[in-house]
Amino acid sequence: MPVIDTESGKFEYKGRKLSREDISDMEYDKFLKTNRQVGQFTDNIRRGISNYEVGYTGRMKDYKESDHPDLLFNDEENQAIIYNSKKIEVEPGFFKKHAEDGKMFIILINFNPDTMTGDDKSEMRFWIEDSRKVLADNTITEDLKLKTLPPRHFWVWDEDKCVLLMGCKIVQIYSNKKNPFYIGIIVQKAEYDNGK
C-alpha cells in the first residue's frame, strides 16, 4: 500500500516517491485490467442502467447469523447481508476464492444499522454522501469519477480466514429509510490478512 508523507504530500510506494496523480493513475490502470464483469457493471452505471431489479431491498429480516461471513468495519463486527453482482447471497469461501485469484470484483452490502455503533453509522453516512457527490458530478468524466471515489477497507471472516477487502469504492447506492446502509461496491483487491 502507498504511504503518504504528510509533510511533502507525496506518497511512497516500493521505495518510489509518487504524487496523488501517480497513485490515481496506478489505481486506474489496475481497474482497466479487471475482468469483463466489472467493466460491464461500470458501463451500465455510466449509461444509467440498473443491474438489479428496481425495488429490490435485501431486507435484514432474512438475516441468520450462521449463514453469513462476519464483516468488520473500523475493526467493529457488523451484521450485514452480502450479495455478489448477481444479487445472490455469497456463500462460505466466496472471499477466499477472490483472495486467491487477485481480481477486482463487485459486491452489494446491506448493513444492519441496529448492530452498528454511532461512530460506524456516522462514518458510513459520510462515505456514502462523499461517494454520492462524486457520482452525481456531471462536470467530470466517468473515468475521473472512478479515480476520485473515496476508498475504504473492510475485513471479512470467511470460514477460518480473515480476508482484507482493499480499495472498496461505492459505485451504486441503494439506501432507503428501511435499509440506510445498502451499497454496491467495487473491491480493488482481496487478500489474506495474516495480522487478524
Q: How far is 181 from 176, CA to CA, in rounded Å?
A: 8
Q: Is 170 left (phi over 0), alpha (psi -120 to 50) or beta?
A: beta
Q: What is the number of domains present in the chain?
A: 1
Identify the pLDDT of residue 59.
Answer: 41
Residue 174 domain flag? yes
Residue 184 maps to a domain? yes
Residues in contact with 91: Cβ distance below 8 Å, sequence separation at least 6, in sequence order: none
Query: Is residue 12 in a domain?
Result: no
Return the pLDDT at 30: 64
pLDDT of residue 39: 54
Q: Could you tell me if residue 84 is inside a domain?
A: yes
Sequence-distant contacts of 48-54: CB under 8 A, at least 24 apart = 50/172, 51/85, 51/172, 51/184, 52/87, 52/108, 52/174, 52/184, 53/87
In a domain, 9, yes or no: no
Residue 70 lies in a domain: yes
Residue 25, Cα to own-chain centre: how many angstroms? 19
Residue 139 lies in a domain: yes
Host domain of residue 93: 34-192
What pLDDT sits at residue 61?
42
The reported pLDDT for the residue numbered 46 is 47
Quote the CA–CA distance of 77 and 72 in Å, as a whole number: 4
Residue at 13 is within a domain: no
Can you give the pLDDT of all 196 residues of the chain as single tens digits? 555 555 666 666 666 777 767 767 777 666 655 544 455 555 555 444 444 433 333 444 444 444 555 566 655 677 788 999 888 998 888 998 999 998 999 999 998 888 888 888 888 999 999 999 999 988 888 888 888 999 998 888 887 788 889 999 999 999 988 899 999 999 999 998 765 5
DSSP 193: -
What is the model's pLDDT at position 118? 80
Q: Give the per-residue pLDDT at 48.
A: 44
Q: Tell me the C-alpha to C-alpha distance, in Å, between residue 135 and each of 158, 177, 178.
A: 31, 20, 22
Give a three-class secondary structure readout of 9-74.
CEEEECCEEECHHHHHHHHHHHHHCCCHHHHHHHHHHHCCCCCCCCCCCCCHHHCCHHHCCEEEEC
How far, in Å, CA of 148 to CA of 73, rounded? 21
